[in-house]
Chain A
């Protein structure tokens, strides 16, 4: 798609109150503005679906809001769609739209807000909704060679019929299926990579790289090989079990996801977590970020075949994994978060031991960073490679460290604080070059900031409770958010009368960023591809859910 909009710099960042007033005056007859609840600051209900693209454009481009995602719900005779936008510094907004189920057509906003592209394709596949004006629908979550047309497995009707094993085995793979090739030129060819590549050590994802020679002309990542339908299998489950799913669908940022989930439940029931619980949550979140970034740095070094540096970073990562296990009982911090706080408390000695190992690891990370800064053969592979400029990053709504390397300064810890982050002192490092080296620098800087935050949190630990009882309420809806190591993680939840999950929606940073990954790959040479992939550090499984 061609960028037709003005860049960010010309638009002024608007606060929620200003936006409410502006929407009221501009879209007064077709939109009803009200105070939101359960984590949402402002709710805009649309009376006429036709205004949706205009209002989305206004929020994303003129008010400089960031796009959160789309939540689709099926209520009796209607489709209810919520479009989430974040006004940085003043909170979440939702644009509500109801469409009668007899005519499942919604105007597409992806021509105005390009970041909504994949969200609409996903809703089309899983719910059978039609997005009018969307340039390309079909073959997305449900791969066309496996799934028959018109399945829409997330619809409520399907709950009974889809669950049987017999039904699952009925789909026979279609051997005739071929991907759509666009590049037509003498000598043009397509290079397929995946879903089993790097000896299977890469997560399942398929790339189709179209080329006429050395440079990649068109890159098409094909995801959802790991589609486990967690949103669907959580339906009808008690909250305690849905929490296990939230924790286990993307393990490298499991603490952030379970935290985001628990925050939604706590917001729903109005529970205030005790100070010690909050501080420990910050400590563990930052420990996870530090460990994740050490692993991502090891990945970048490995992709450039700089073995010693990769090994050094891998040693740091394994040390942190072991320290996490010694401290909490699990290498990936499973089983700690619970609605109302944490499941267990830690002794001061254990904290001191953790800090000791962490400080040593951070010291070693500094040495690795210094070494890399002076290794020209390494820098040659990263500098000016895989560039995403700030305008493009804004257009595609990049989040997390990848976005911050391309001039997007959004960080939920600072811009929409949760679990007490507003009381902490920290920097949000960002770069504007948007190349592989900028992404690597952001990873290092964030890792150091995380270590500082762990120290701050440890210093604040006063004796006290780590959790309070928190029973999920019967009936409720809430949005939870957390800044996962890869970027914003949103968990949206609606509970039914019995306190069971009625609809569960997970929006991950990987889903957001995979959309724009092709921008970084296109027009760069084949041999740069693994390095760009590693410097993005995206998780297919977190995207697939």
Chain B
């Protein structure tokens, strides 16, 4: 048994310094396409055309991206010329469309927040990335966040997948069993917009058609740091993308 003790010590620390400092290691995030200015109107239209899910819209020679719909097929990056600009970041958490105000959980949750995950039709990627938060690289526990096995003690509901017909009732039951205050996070393109599965006779096309969603973390799959950013937003230690809190606004 002492083997593992020494082995663990000898391997040293691997944990990221995020959120105190940004993580710069290669490969932590696939990145995302961003608004690109093209030389001509045709090139921008071509970039919009190459997108299989209509996440890119062309306007006067520039192409805009709605990350909610992006499924990271990278067709606008490789094989499209000229390619879209690509940005290697991971702070993607946004408010759902139409929501302007956002209240994080009270301060008491900052060092003790319990999370339950529901796989509502996920392909395994987002769920796997959520699971990675427990590995030594991300080590969610150091931030006072824990996975819990029962909805009765959960404060945050992470939903992955487009919400299948067979998972709709278990998802609703989990939500109802959670005490107030509670937050719902949609993780991954499928949970945000239905992704490639869209809306069909078995898929609700996103969590928001079943439950009130507080925050959305796009990406297919959302990398672990993007999910960590979302969880930090829930506790109020980070702000959603493009959102100025009332505090900052008054200052």
Contact = CB atoms under 8 A, between A and B. Distances in A.
A251 B124 CA distance: 6
Contacts of A295: 128
Contacts of B117: 199-201
B115 A331 contact: no
A428 interface: no
Contact of B149 (A195, A197, A344): A197
B47 to A, nearest CB: 15
B123 A251 contact: yes
B62 interface: no
5 contacts: A196-B170, A203-B122, A308-B5, A329-B78, A377-B1
A343 B170 CA distance: 39
B27 A227 contact: no
A6 B72 CA distance: 50
A225 B166 contact: yes
A334 B220 contact: yes
B220 A226 contact: no
B20 interface: no
B170 to A, nearest CB: 5
A203 B124 contact: yes
Contacts of B5: 308
Contact of A248 (B167, B169, B196): B196
A241 interface: yes
B213 interface: no
Contacts of A371: 3-4, 7
Contact of A200 (B7, B75, B158, B166): B158
A226 B135 contact: no
Contact of B72 (A153, A306, A335): A335
B16 to A, nearest CB: 11
B1 A168 contact: no
Contacts of A311: 8, 135-136
Contact of B200 (A143, A163, A334): A163
B28 interface: yes
Contacts of A164: 201
Interface in B2-34: 3-5, 7-8, 11, 14, 25-31
B43 interface: no
Contact of B201 (A229, A241, A374): A229
Contacts of B52: 240-241, 244
In the A-B complex, the 3 residue pairs with the closest CB atoms: A322-B27, A200-B117, A251-B125
A481 interface: no
Interface of B: 1, 3-5, 7-8, 11, 14, 25-31, 52, 71-75, 77-79, 115-125, 127-132, 134-137, 147-149, 151, 158, 161-162, 164-170, 174, 195-204, 220-221, 223
A232 B72 CA distance: 23
A541 B124 contact: yes
Interface string A228-250: 11101100000011001100111
Tell which of A250, A251, A323 has the most Cβ of chain B within 10 Å.
A251
A331 B31 CA distance: 10
A167 to B, nearest CB: 7
Interface string A293-311: 0010000000000101101
Contact of A331 (B30, B124, B137, B164): B30
A532 B197 CA distance: 32
Interface of B is mostly: loop
Contacts of A245: 196-197
Nearest to A229: B202
A497 interface: no
A321 interface: yes
Tell which of B1, B30, B165, B169 has the most Cβ of chain A within 10 Å.
B165
A398 interface: no
A527 interface: no
Interface string A437-455: 0000000000000000000
Contact of B165 (A227, A233, A252, A334): A227
A334 B74 contact: yes
Given A308-B7, A343-B78, 8 more contacts: A199-B147, A200-B119, A225-B121, A248-B195, A251-B221, A254-B125, A322-B27, A542-B124
Contact of A199 (B8, B149, B162, B202): B149
A329 B29 CA distance: 9
Contacts of B149: 197-199
A527 B195 CA distance: 38
Nearest to B77: A329
Contact of A226 (B4, B122, B134): B122
B125 A226 contact: no
Nearest to A318: B137
A271 interface: no
A332 B127 CA distance: 12
Contact of A224 (B27, B75, B166, B198): B166
B243 to A, nearest CB: 27
B73 A199 contact: no
Nearest to B160: A200
B135 A330 contact: no
Contact of B123 (A196, A343, A541): A541
Nearest to B126: A251
Nearest to B129: A331
A308 B8 contact: yes
Nearest to A249: B123
Contacts of A542: 124
Given A163-B201, A251-B221, A325-B30, A196 B195 contact: no
Interface string A503-545: 0000000000000000000000000000000000001011000
Contact of A315 (B14, B125, B195): B14
Tell which of A173, A204, A374 has the most Cβ of chain B within 10 Å.
A204
Contact of A306 (B4, B31, B166, B220): B4
B75 to A, nearest CB: 7
Contact of A330 (B74, B198, B202): B74
Nearest to B114: A199
A309 B137 CA distance: 15
Nearest to A313: B135
B200 A315 contact: no
B147 to A, nearest CB: 4
Contacts of A240: 52
Contacts of A195: 119, 167, 170
A248 B128 contact: no
Contact of B137 (A230, A308, A315, A329): A315
